[in-house]
Amino acid sequence: MDYKSAGVDTAYAQTLIQNLKTKITATHKVPGVGEIGGAYGGFAGRFIAMQIPGFDVVATTDGVGTKTQLLRRFDYLEGIGQDLVAMCVNDLYCSGATPAFFLDYIACGKLDEKWYNRVLASIADACAATPMALMGGETAEHPGVMPDDDFDLAGFAVGFIPKERKLPQFDAQKENDFVIGVASSGLHSNGFSLVRKIFAEIEKNSRSEFEKLIADRKEFVSAWLNPTRIYREVPQLIAKADIKGIAHITGGGIHENLPRVLKPGLGAVIENAEPFRLKAAPLLEKYVPREKLFHTFNMGTGLILIAAASELPGIRSVYPEAAIIGRLQAGSGVQLQTN
């Protein structure tokens, strides 16, 4: 199995976006208001506002994806708001920004307080923990379009960044800079179309094996449904260490996400690709070749930092588990050793 056979083709999605690049970038200058700054295709969009001297506005958007279906099936909605907020705000941190406010969009077949109160409370709790303000949102009922008991989420995070502190710092990156991994809390919110396909295969071929998999609810939730980690310490980290780039490892794994924060002409050699072992890894490896797993999941590393070797003590004062996973070298892309 792989992610594409599960119905998700990330390369095709990137091709469609690139085909619209000219049309999208044509909107980037707003007369009398400001313009989009930074490279196309980053983790967060940066808006250079004429009315806010010295600061740029940064915004991101994301969702929880098909993980929502498993959270609904196994009645674990208490962490879904953290998934939503984290997927947005972690991208925001990659720009060096401090979060300010959040908005949510909830689409459903039929509004029901049995799930709605748990979902919205979870979003509010995650915003409070970040911290950032939950400014507002929108709930839309789609009767006849979505099943009555179905719903989906999207989120939007906005923050601010001093112009002199924006990331990535391409000009500062050099060969032999460290590539440093920070642990994830699990699978986070990516690759769940493939997870659901694996679960369906197990359930179809061996009901007893599937029942054993889900028997210990605490362990099952910890391995498969644990909420996405919010890297709320990043503003503190930036104040303590000279960070040259931050990559949020989401769908597409290290291969697709790390190059987004690397200086043109530099690539990354990853020799220690799995410093943090996922609880779900043993089962995933039974169904998917290891190399393909690293193209789909974070494989235990949720955030990657680029910094000089001298910054490691400062980084570990904030993230004690931070592990050196590789170095920058001349070239492009990621060379990743999975064995």
Identify residue 180 by its one-letter amino acid code.
I
Report the pLDDT averaged over residues 27-42.
70
Contacts of 11 (CB under 8 A, 6+ apart): none
For residue 30, what are its two tokens? 């707003």
C-alpha angle 192-195-199 in degrees, rounded to nearest 5: 140
Please report, for the chain, the start and end positions of each structural domain, with discontinuous segments joined by +.
Answer: 31-165, 170-336
Neighbours of 59 (CB within 10 A): 18
> Taking the chain, what is the end-to-end CA distance rounded to the nearest angstrom?
19
> What ranges in the chain are assigned the alpha helix state H?
10-19, 21-25, 67-73, 80-93, 113-129, 192-205, 207-215, 217-220, 234-240, 253-257, 281-287, 290-293, 312-318
Over residues 275-329, the pLDDT tens digits come to 999 999 999 999 999 999 999 999 999 999 999 999 999 999 999 999 999 999 9
Determine whether domain 170-336 maps to CATH 3.90.650.10. Answer: yes
CB 265 within 8 A of CB 23: no
pLDDT at 39: 65
Specify the pTM.
0.86
pLDDT at 40: 62
Determine whether domain 31-165 maps to CATH 2.60.40.1180. Answer: no
135: pLDDT confidence band, cut at 50, 70 and 90?
confident
Q: Do domains 31-165 and 170-336 have the same CATH topology?
A: no
| Average pLDDT for the chain | 90
